[in-house]
Amino acid sequence: MKIVIDKMACEANGICVDLLPEVLELIEEEDEDVLRLRLAVVPAKLEDQARKTVRACPRQALSIEE
């Protein structure tokens, strides 16, 4: 399973990072926060949490690719 970030929709508010810090992180890039993946593939033990994280995104900027 992979998480896909829609960079146009993402506001980098950090809710997803709080819920899934093992996979997602915020970095500063050109004076603004940008969401990026820490891991290309979500570990099996975190798949349920990844689904919850995707649903929690207020901008629907995250999706799952199986």
Number of alpha carbons in the 13 Å side-chain half-sphere of residue 45: 1
Per residue in 39-58, pLDDT (tens digit) is 999 999 999 999 999 999 99
Look at residues 5, 11, 1, 35 and name the one whose alpha carbon lies nearest to residue 21.
35
The average pLDDT across 6-25 equals: 98
Domain that holds residue 44: 2-65
Q: What is the pLDDT of residue 34?
A: 97
Question: Can you give the CATH number for the domain in which 54 is found?
Answer: 3.30.70.20
The domain total for the chain is 1
